[in-house]
Structure 1
């Protein structure tokens, strides 16, 4: 449902402010939903085509809050403060990061409405950017491009944080990732998916043992996730994207080869380990060959650019990590790969539109549990789940005590 207040008059006032032109008049407007059901769980995206001052066309995207969510869902999402966080990051942080990085990282923002929790941004599809097909997942070229862009953004954030400390503002205030010390309001979502995954594996010959391990992991699950999101003071922390999967990025192509990527959707951005975004991307959005065979190589792609950018920008914080150190940091946070692969992947590659909304994900009632059960009936993810759960067991990542003594 598109926001009723998103009118030609509203957009005319926003454009007048942006272009500092009080003569600007919107003469026509066409609006359409930008994504279908099950394509986006966190907001409403509306595609807008405007004509103003007779000759100028403007193609925009409006990102607005889900206005008709039930009270319980709103209450569970409230501690994350996702709308205000994203507006603030687009308004105050990303312009500084782009300046340091020396290149565009995200769409151009034309208007921010804090009262309504809304963003008006350029429609990147008219600048030659497209969203990769989410069900196909990303190959090595795409993943490498994303990791290089991510490394530039995150190196800039580490340098910016050093500079901000003198200005009484700190990026460390963004401390509400998916797992955080303030709330466990997503536990029905996470533990419901864990249970559904275990129940699916019980039906697969040879995977009963893995199902039992997942059931036994449940009481410790939220604590293990929280451990991944802990800031390690001896490591270089960064502003992570926090939700780095296929639908939160757009690619530009030259002769069929991806040449640039821009990141969108910073609702879950938080201050923490850069390795978490890498785990997220590889285990939700990479094709099986990249996920299963090229993890080390992809970490290296990120590490090379990250360290190079920190050197270029004169980073004065912790010692720059060697490649070996970076692998050790990645392993320390690797339980998050379990979360991304076994729980997030089925949600993000869901093809069943029935009840495909955030309210169902967050609910432990029959509608919500049935939706989560059906996620694991998708043939497109079942082989991945089986491969991953075997690897995760071999790595000791299904052990409730894996962090003891570390």
Structure 2
């Protein structure tokens, strides 16, 4: 039921702009996002860099694309030592405006965690695969500004000029694209599990659930209005009414459930999970014939050490197209497991490799993540672009918040998915408290 935090990079018309001549059409672009502050990044990222010819900042995305951050695209034209020019682009994300959004970001510790993932672990994981002769890329290149701007931010290479794009989230992924995500996810999970066995605990921010006991009060306050609207909307359509008797007792204990399933159990098979794996946080590159060639994950703000079930439910119930979401769920789980085993063996995992049976048992053990996905991220994924879509409106009890939450849960596209997903979840036993 928690909202997504996507950093979608390939979307709609920019709303703000700052160019190197100092003019801006709105004041949303922070003053520290300027040519001078990016000088060191350009020197680091561009071989033979000589000087900057043009510097432009634009806010990207629209309502429903970015929730836990404000995304900006930095476009530059630089001159090289030989006199030629080169276009270079970056994506930079900062804390969202508004009290509720900022509170959620702070509670979850999103920016320090993502900096740790991009700045340390993703590169370490890639090097681990490289050491066994396998090239794997887990994310865009990460940069730090030389001068600390005094605010939280994450600065990344913009990979869209290389041909990477998001798919339309409302349509969902086909089988090929879904399996490509499961493949790289299995690689991430495998290498992070191996690293844990070799070197021990990750930093505390990655070892502790953001939904811990200390977050109970704020989590309860934020979830209460959302759950009220959810129950109201569910009571107005046939499938929702049918399963309310099973869902309401679970909704009444939502905070307790988040705390319960968020606890790290070291007796389980645990990995670094992406934590927010939906279509806007996945980019694909295709060839001229439209065939997928490469898949890359972005936005590691919600990463932590946990059961892989977190990612599996979150991704498989939110992002594949409706015609394969339920029909191929078991096939996708087996495909993920096959790839997990292959990579654990490649990296010489020192412990017993988890069996498919064990993975299926963990899906049942942590089945609350299926409910959290179906009543949270899934609704956001299926909503059309909406300027009222923000982290604040997910939780606010003012009229704008109520209107947005009502749109989420009464959306005909969402109801259509529930007509398929809820009966399947019930059949699987995921709705049993």
Q: Quote the Cα distance in structure 1 between the aligned partners of 2:145 and 2:297.
A: 18
Structure 1 residues 312, 150: closer, same or farther in 2, change over 3 A? same
Q: Quote the Cα distance in structure 1 between the aligned partners of 2:398 and 2:94.
A: 24
Residue 310 of structure 1: how far off its partner (Å) = 0.9
Aligned residue for 1:315? 349
Q: Quote the Cα distance in structure 2 between the aligned partners of 1:2 and 1:46.
A: 8
Residue 320 of structure 1: how far off its partner (Å) = 0.6
Aligned residue for 1:6? 33
Are 2:143 and 1:110 equivalent residues in the alignment? yes
Are 2:64 and 1:45 equivalent residues in the alignment? no
SS in 2 for 1:276: helix
**Contact 2:219-2:255 at 8 Å conserved across structures:** no
SS in 2 for 1:282: helix
**Contact 1:161-1:170 at 8 Å conserved across structures:** yes
SS in 1 for 2:144: strand
The one-character-per-residue Cα deviations of 1:317-371 (angstroms, maximum 9, x if unpaired) are 3x11111221112222222111111222112322262421111113244432332
Residue 176 of structure 1: how far off its partner (Å) = 4.8
TM-score norm. by structure 1 comes to 0.89
TM-score norm. by structure 2 comes to 0.84
Residue 233 of structure 1: how far off its partner (Å) = 2.3
**Contact 1:177-1:270 at 8 Å conserved across structures:** yes
Residue 150 of structure 1: how far off its partner (Å) = 0.7
Aligned residue for 1:137? 172
Q: Quote the Cα distance in structure 1 between the aligned partners of 2:408 and 2:70.
A: 22
Point out the more displaced range, 302-311 or 346-355. 346-355
Are 2:232 and 1:170 equivalent residues in the alignment? no
**Contact 2:193-2:272 at 8 Å conserved across structures:** yes
Aligned residue for 2:110? 82
Are 2:334 and 1:300 equivalent residues in the alignment? yes
Structure 1 residues 215, 112: closer, same or farther in 2, change over 3 A? farther
Q: Quote the Cα distance in structure 1 between the aligned partners of 2:162 and 2:199.
A: 33
Are 2:291 and 1:264 equivalent residues in the alignment? no
Q: CA RMSD in A?
A: 2.3
Equivalent residue runs for 1:53-202 within 5 Å: 53=79, 55-66=84-95, 68-70=97-99, 72-101=100-129, 102-111=135-144, 115-165=150-200, 170-171=202-203, 173-177=205-209, 179-184=211-216, 185-202=218-235
Structure 1 residues 40, 132: closer, same or farther in 2, change over 3 A? same
Point out the more displaced range, 308-317 or 193-202. 193-202
SS in 1 for 2:283: strand
Structure 1 residues 51, 194: closer, same or farther in 2, change over 3 A? same
Q: Quote the Cα distance in structure 1 between the aligned partners of 2:387 and 2:164.
A: 30
Structure 1 residues 326, 272: closer, same or farther in 2, change over 3 A? same
Residue 172 of structure 1: how far off its partner (Å) = 5.9
Residue 174 of structure 1: how far off its partner (Å) = 0.8
Equivalent residue runs for 1:392-403 within 5 Å: 392-399=425-432, 402=433
SS in 1 for 2:326: helix
Point out the more displaced range, 85-94 or 210-219. 210-219
**Contact 2:75-2:87 at 8 Å conserved across structures:** yes
Q: Quote the Cα distance in structure 2 between the aligned partners of 1:57 and 1:244.
A: 33
SS in 2 for 1:29: strand
**Contact 1:107-1:264 at 8 Å conserved across structures:** yes
Equivalent residue runs for 1:308-387 within 5 Å: 308-317=342-351, 319-351=352-384, 353-387=386-420
Residue correspondences, number: 394
Q: Quote the Cα distance in structure 2 between the aligned partners of 1:353 and 1:284.
A: 18
Are 2:236 and 1:203 equivalent residues in the alignment? yes
Structure 1 residues 44, 74: closer, same or farther in 2, change over 3 A? closer
SS in 1 for 2:73: strand
**Contact 1:174-1:269 at 8 Å conserved across structures:** yes
Aligned residue for 2:270? 237
Point out the more displaced range, 25-34 or 175-184. 175-184
Q: Quote the Cα distance in structure 2 between the aligned partners of 1:84 and 1:4.
A: 22
The one-character-per-residue Cα deviations of 1:23-64 (angstroms, maximum 9, x if unpaired) are 732111233233112211011222222111253324323322
SS in 1 for 2:249: helix
Residue 207 of structure 1: how far off its partner (Å) = 4.2
Q: Which runs of 5+ in 1 are unaligned?
A: none
Q: Which runs of 5+ in 2 are unaligned?
A: 1-27, 130-134
1:280 to 289, 294, 314: 314
